[in-house]
Structure 1
Amino acid sequence: MTAVPNAKDDTAAMALPPDRFHRVLAGLLLVLALSALDANIVGPALPLITSDFGALGGLAWVLTIFLLTSTAATPLYGKLSDMYGRRPLLMVAVVLFLAGSAFCGMAQSMGQLILGRAIQGVGAGGLMTLTQITMSDLVSPRRRGSYQGIFGAVFTLASLGGAPLGGIITEYWSWRWIFYVNLPLGLAALVLLWMGLPPGKRTTSHQIDYLGVLITMAATSCLLLALNRGSHEGWTSPSVIGFGIATVVLALALVPVEARVKEPLIPPRMLRNRIWLIATGVSTLLTIAVFGALAFLPLYLQLVGELSPAESGLAMVPSAAGLMLSLVIGGRLITKTGRYKVFAVAGVGLATAALILLTVASYAAPHPIIMGGLLFPLGAGLGLLMPGLTVAFQNAVDPKDIGAATSTSGFFRSLGGAFGISVAGAILASHVGVLLPVRQGEVKEMYNIGLNQLAQLNAAEQAVVIGHYQSAIFAIFATASVIAALGFLAIRALPEQDLSDQAGSKRSAG
């Protein structure tokens, strides 16, 4: 068990007494648990949501819209928290997340569910980022590795419980309660953070690049729509070409806009910081790979592996177990040695190797237990990577830029997650977006066949559907492996820098 370091040693310029520090710590851990639960609890419910509401294409947007809106909100939370303090922005983020959760639970159609996930995403954009920013105010980079271990343990425990809990709730109760479960946790976090953090006050003057954010998200939306429609309508259809042209035009329009604003979405000094640039690039590549690889794995385990929702959730547990173990050990080793590069390189290498093994396994279609076991090294690799990269770039940037650096890095990770899921959805659709001949000359759209519909097919028809899903998952894992390998090549160029022994506010004062 990771011990909590002495709060007195790392109290920031806010001069929080130890009792208030621990309230804040508990509140932030609950916020982190909210984020982890939501990332994992939804997966096992996706096949039944498909059966209730319709097409798998809409299901992909249940995942994508969440990441898209959270991506748009992430950089705004960082700068606004620099301007008005951490507490007000944390309150806003948690309240929006809870409102979206309640809306999702009450949804009566796929459209309503997607809207609820969009609201959830706006709140979620601040959960992880503001947690990291607030801790950078309270703890020095040198000691932050130990706290990363604590946060990693809580994150992983929530992840460990998320998938099985989602499967159990879905199978024995209702998938709607996978959203309602966020409400009591969120309310408790609000109370603790309100009691522990000081009131917000204007500390830093920033100009928000709203136009840059708007153009970036419009370009991203067009790209995701092109991927989504291309998998259904064909890559040469007018709508796909139109969205592709719009993506290019918007991306080109962003260049002069960013050149004129005082504080662009990506500050030029960030691009000149090699540590921030490499850390952000590698974390984005790994997010694309892992989100894409795991997005539809529960669906594969249920359709191909014939697991129940609860069993598919349990099969995902090894990834979270590996993540927790390596986060705790890696965080403590970073604090002890003051080094981060060796752990980051080892983490990316291990995750890449695991994805390659999963690619081979998905082709061979072994027992689901073997597939689940291969998720352990994938999680372990991510656990070694995550704390090292965050500590590295927060230590490398000017203390006054920690909020912007953390939120901008989170922005690209969220963008990578949305892109990874969209690419995986497009690959899936290209393999199963065909008509399935059934009895008496009828045809079914294979893309819309969920668990309930699959059970109504005969053995030969089921074999056809399962074969298409198996080939799709193989292609998804193969693509993820290539992307992760690019990250492994990039991480080797990460510079090593001595870690500071002062918390963010004290470094500014110094």
Structure 2
Amino acid sequence: MTLTAPAAAPSPVRGRGVAIGAAGLAVLLGALDTYVVVSVLEDIMRSVDIPINRIQLATPIITWYLLGYIAAMPLLGRLSDRFGRRLVLQASLALFIVGSVLTALAHTVPEVLVGRVVQGVASGALLPVTLALAADLWSARRRAAVLGWVGAAQELGSVLGPVVGVGVVTLVHNHFSSVPRDDAWRVVFWINVPLALIAMLLLQFTVPKRAVTKQKVDVVGGLLLAVALGLSVIGLYNPEPDGTDVLPPNGAWLLLGAAVAFVLFAVWERFARTKLIDTEGMRVRPFLAACAASVCAGAALMVTLVDVEIYARAVLERDGVAAVLTLVRFLLALPVGAILGGFLATRIGDRVVSVAGLLVAAGGYVLISMWPTDVLSAHYLGFLPALDTSLAIAGLGLGLVIGPLSSAALRAVRLSQAGIASALLVVARMSGMLIGVAALTTFGFYRLTTILDTMPAIAPQGDITKTIVAMARRTQEAYALMFGEVFLVTAGICLVGAVFALFVAGRRDESEQSPTDAEETLVPSR
């Protein structure tokens, strides 16, 4: 197939800002869907007859989505290397529509699970393929800023997702009486249909068409890796951590199955002619360093999302929405950090910003680990609220590394491998989230039990009310001490990530192609 030279037709780079903006909207849509279910989970439970006091029965709605999201990501990323970013993005959005319709029509738990798995598979392709699209359209020196904006769109979904869910359900309750109250949550998923169609249309007219290459795709390797990742997700996600078991029931067997699948994948990749992950032309050490740093950043992120809310309930005595809103400071700082980190990385380098971001995050977690039980009245420098400031610092630090780590990983591979490389980087981050929260939640509950056992017992007092208050205060202090240790460990994880970041591809490490090469691998959209 003859490629269209830049001189013969309008350069696709002219409209690349619009193209990445359209793809970024698709990323935001997928991110919203990831987090929106949190705010409508109880409504879904009522519709599929799950008792509200048996919330553990609803956890597969989340875990199966994660399964689809992570498992199919590497294969879909590789398919985008073969068939082009636009085609895979549009196919993923079409599949996303199918999953949304299945979820909206579901009346039983299995039906909801099927819909969520399909949505997860579709959403899993949107972020890595958009990152790869940025690599296609921008040179290695300039793409970090763009990757920061894409990362900001992803993180913005974590802020807006729950808000959108609550907002849509409230709007339906108040203004659409014809919709049964228990079915209002379905509108959240029906809305995905027109939004995804709009995104597909925008992609058609903005994202340049890539010339289809003759390289083959290792479907067998992709499926083996999908099985391994899927079993890992189910084996690591424990919906009811109690401080004694790190893994859920049967988790050890599932992880054993995952290990077998990983071994089979490695053997297949060793002897297969067509490989899913082709290391030819890849600078392996810098790429693995970027993935390792992403694992650490992901672990810190997920621990924060889970434990700050629990802290708000147990120590600050906040309930429901108030506990969730405690995270807003952290969540808002993430996209701000992502944009700032990308901007800085284009000027001083990916490695410098990645290391600095993780060090800033570590400092934030050290401050969080020192929260007193009356943190709401504590201030830094006399006027900075301690809780808000420390959460914002941690979020800003983790946000700073999003663009630079993505850019560094893409520097280490050829453009023809950008899809699979981006997918592996996102998988690394998600794996860190699962491993981090599983390990540190178990550690935290274990330490809580130990701390309570070593604290002086509360002697019975004549006034039963005073005894109850004293016991509650004792438990509150134990939780504060426990979370202090958990967040101190989280700071250590960020420091380890900073060490890994020292070995990522630096500013002088250029990709195999020049800035104009990206234009020569694309033809204008038709």
TM-score in terms of structure 2 length: 0.74
For the aligned residue pairs, the C-alpha RMSD in angstroms reads 4.2
Deviation, 1:78, is: 1.9
Q: Distance in 2 between matches of 1:168 and 1:416?
A: 31
Would you say the 8 A contact 1:327–1:383 is kept in 2? yes
Name the residue aligned to 1:138: 137
Q: Distance in 1 between matches of 2:124 and 2:319?
A: 32
Equivalenced residues, count? 473
* Alignment partner of 1:124 is 2:123: yes
AA aligned opposite 2:493: I
* Alignment partner of 1:276 is 2:287: yes
Equivalent of 2:518 in 501, 505, 509: 505
Would you say the 8 A contact 1:43–1:298 is kept in 2? no
Equivalent of 1:397 in 389, 413, 417: 413
Would you say the 8 A contact 1:348–1:385 is kept in 2? yes
Deviation, 1:492, is: 2.5
Q: Distance in 2 between matches of 1:112 and 1:394?
A: 38
Name the residue aligned to 1:488: 498
Name the residue aligned to 1:331: 342
The answer to which of 168-177 and 22-31 deviates more is 168-177
Would you say the 8 A contact 1:352–1:488 is kept in 2? no
Deviation, 1:238, is: 9.1
Deviation, 1:297, is: 4.3
* Alignment partner of 1:315 is 2:290: no
Name the residue aligned to 2:178: none
The answer to which of 110-119 and 139-148 deviates more is 110-119
Question: Equivalent residue of 2:493, what SS?
Answer: helix
Deviation, 1:122, is: 0.0
Equivalent of 2:426 in 397, 407, 410: 410
AA aligned opposite 1:121: G
Question: Which consecutive unaligned segments of at least 5 residues does structure 2 have?
Answer: 1-5, 174-183, 378-384, 450-467
Larger-gyration structure (1/2): 2
Q: How does 1:233-244 map to 2 (within 5 A)?
A: 239-244=250-255
Name the residue aligned to 1:64: 63
AA aligned opposite 1:35: G
Name the residue aligned to 1:86: 85
Deviation, 1:381, is: 0.8
Deviation, 1:336, is: 3.3
Deviation, 1:180, is: 4.4
Q: How does 1:66-465 map to 2 (within 5 A)?
A: 66-169=65-168, 175-198=185-208, 201-211=211-221, 213-214=223-224, 217-218=227-228, 221=231, 224-225=234-235, 228=238, 231=241, 239-269=250-280, 272-295=283-306, 297-298=308-309, 301=312, 305=316, 307=318, 309-337=320-348, 339-361=349-371, 364=373, 366-367=375-376, 371-423=387-439
The answer to which of 202-211 and 11-20 deviates more is 11-20
Q: Distance in 2 between matches of 1:255 and 1:17?
A: 38
TM-score in terms of structure 1 length: 0.76
AA aligned opposite 2:415: P
For residues 331 and 62 of structure 1, do their structure 2 counterparts lie closer, same or farther at Cα, with a shift above 3 Å needed? same
Q: Distance in 2 between matches of 1:12 and 1:66?
A: 45
AA aligned opposite 2:64: I
Q: Distance in 1 between matches of 2:247 and 2:329?
A: 41
AA aligned opposite 1:185: L
For residues 366 and 113 of structure 1, do their structure 2 counterparts lie closer, same or farther at Cα, with a shift above 3 Å needed? farther
Would you say the 8 A contact 1:137–1:503 is kept in 2? no
AA aligned opposite 2:364: A
Question: Equivalent residue of 2:32, what SS?
Answer: helix
Identify, as 1 or 2, the structure richer in helix: 1
Once the two structures are superposed, what CA deviation does each residue of 1:362-388 show, in whole Å capped at 9, x if it has no partner? x73744985454321122112211111
AA aligned opposite 2:22: G
The answer to which of 311-320 and 74-83 deviates more is 311-320
Deviation, 1:400, is: 2.2
Deviation, 1:126, is: 0.8
